Amino acid sequence: MKMNKQIFFLVGLIGALAFTGCRKDFEEINTNPNEPTAVSTGFLLTSAQKATMDRVYDSFWGSRRGMQTAQYWSSNQYSNESRYQYRDATANSAWASFYAGPLQDLQTIIDLNSGDNAGDYAGYGDNANQIAVAKILQAWIYQHLTDAFGDIPMSEALQGVGNTTPGYDSQADVYAALVVMLDDAIGSMTSGAGPQGDQIYGGNMDQWTKFANSLKLRVAMRMADVSPGPAQSAAEAALSSGMIIAGNEDNALFSYLTGAPNNNPINEDYKTRNDFAASNTMVDYLASLNDPRVGVYYAEAVNGGGYVGEVYGLTEANAAITMNDDVSQRGSAILAADLPGILFDAAQTHFLAAEAAERGWSSILSAEEHYNAAIALNMNFWGITDEAAIADYTGQDAVAYATAEGDWKTKIGRQKWVALYMQGYEGWAEYRRLDFGLLNACADGALAGDGNVPTRMWYPLDEQTLNGDNWSAATDAGATDLLSTKLWWDVN
């Protein structure tokens, strides 16, 4: 998982002042040869990629919300968020940072490469390829946001001072737009140079095509129960393209380095505090299956040994009773400075393809073959390569596709949840969509919502004050801005 790529940072954009004067050589004399005349879109791309992953892996939006809501982790302290009392500041910060940060940087790349002066930016990669990569990343972020909140600004967003109060697009419209955005990106790629500053694929456009098709497959499958016709068309187009993330060598990963400020935020946060431990929800399930990933995801408890999960959803007082050494902490691989940020991996592709086969759509292999491939690929990703051990795992009655408990949604959903560890929001999304059970009620009761696992996040409080009319229109004056309001695609 280690990838040696240099991380560049966007430290600022330098503006130029234009003057007029009497001397004909005034402009030449007053031009700083060390000052760039055009924004480096390579810096913008690196900044957008890093800012996206830093937010997804930070200690609040990524950990306290994403990883805890999916019940991969429990709180050692400050446990109210494991009982769904989420801090307003977290949503405010995440929403603002996604829109004003990576989404806006990516839009700037699109605008600069499609304007009258696009030739000025061709040195940073073929114009069309820069635009395509920016659109793919925007699609990834928009899906992340809509699956957390529901309706979101999209068609009126990213207009700067031209529109500071964008209206909300329905989630149905967002999903339709995502398919169009990804199709545009795929169809516009050329054989020219890939973008500079790409810390995911190093400008390899074939890999970006695979990422775009795989992301389109995920978008399609998520809307399969509410818009089956368009979903099937999009999914089958992606699977038949021959260009999908089929192996771990194709995974869309952001490369972190071993030292600050370029290390994974989880590692940086752990240097000064340890607020999370293994969740009993996940540990107990892995233990019931003798799943070898438990030893990668978590560490054995110092006191007594073995893998012991912290009970999920405790009061702060009860969480404080358990000593850190009494429960399993996060594994060394998870706390590593260079743990990569995962945007998309091969296991996801195969689980999605298994689902396509079960729905009777054109797929590549049988549902069972894709299911087994997904499990094996995920184990390989985490360093478990013993083929006999993997075969023993997938062959046991509780895991084998023919004998595992439940319908195909339950079978696929449970193993997919295990494989989506370190992708908290995706694990939570698939729990809501596939309804595979497993997640526990808060041990000491929920502090917000209806007592069940939330089906969405509240909108940021700032939206009520800064974009109140549009927030009100999107939420029926706040009546539907609830943790229990189901998203468009969540029909069961």
Tell me the pLDDT tens digit for each residue of 299-349.
Answer: 999 999 999 999 999 999 999 999 999 999 999 999 999 999 999 999 999
What tokens does 148 get? Answer: 């957390």
In the chain, the largest separation of any two C-alpha atoms, in whole Å, equals: 87
pLDDT, average across residues 362-381: 97
Which residues, in sequence order, are CB contacts of 68 under 8 Å at separation 6+? 74, 75, 81, 82, 276, 279, 424
pLDDT on residue 39: 80
Instruction: Decide which of 3.20.20.140, 1.10.260.40, 3.40.50.10190, 1.25.40.390 is the CATH code for 41-260+339-478.
Output: 1.25.40.390
32 confidence band (pLDDT: 50, 70, 90): low
pLDDT digits (tens, 9 = 90+) for 240-251: 999 999 999 999
The domain locations on the chain are 41-260+339-478
pLDDT on residue 37: 54
Give the number of other CB atoms < 10 A from CB of residue 198: 23
Is 90 exceeded by the pLDDT of residue 24? no
pTM of the model: 0.92
Among candidate residues 239, 244, 217, the one with its CA nearest the CA of residue 362: 239
256 confidence band (pLDDT: 50, 70, 90): very high
Peptide bond between residue 261 and the one before it cis (omega within 30 degrees of 0)? yes
Residue 470 to residue 491: CA distance in whole angstroms: 25
pLDDT on residue 35: 46
What tokens does 272 get? Answer: 């000064």
Which residues, in sequence order, are CB contacts of 328 under 8 Å at separation 6+? 277, 278, 283, 298, 299, 300, 301, 307, 308, 309, 310
pLDDT digits (tens, 9 = 90+) for 401-454: 999 999 999 999 999 999 999 999 999 999 999 999 999 999 999 999 999 999
Q: Which 3-state string (H, E, C) describes 279-348?
A: EHHHHHHHHHCCCCCHHHHECCCCCCCCCCCECCCCCHHHHHHCCHHHCCCECCCCCCCCCCEEEECHHH
Is 50 exceeded by the pLDDT of residue 14? no
Residue 226 one-letter amino acid: V
pLDDT on residue 38: 64
176: left (phi over 0), alpha (psi -120 to 50) or beta: alpha
Q: What would the DSSP string read from start to end of 67-93?
A: IHHTTSEEESS-GGGGGT---HHHHHH
Is 80 exceeded by the pLDDT of residue 28? no
154 confidence band (pLDDT: 50, 70, 90): very high
Strands (DSSP E) contained in 335-485 are: 341-344
Q: At what angle do helices 205-222 and 346-358 cross, to 10 degrees?
A: 40
Residue 472 one-letter amino acid: S
Give residue 228's Cα distance to chain centre. 24
Residue 169, strand partner residues: 152
pLDDT, average across residues 254-267: 96
10 confidence band (pLDDT: 50, 70, 90): very low
Which residues, in sequence order, are CB contacts of 15 under 8 Å at separation 6+? none
Look at 16-20, 49-53, 68-72, 366-370 and tell me which has the smallest mean pLDDT.
16-20
Look at 18-27, 52-61, 476-485 and tell me which has the smallest mean pLDDT.
18-27
Look at 10-14, 25-29, 177-181, 391-395 and tell me which has the smallest mean pLDDT.
10-14
The residue with greater pLDDT, 30 or 134, is 134
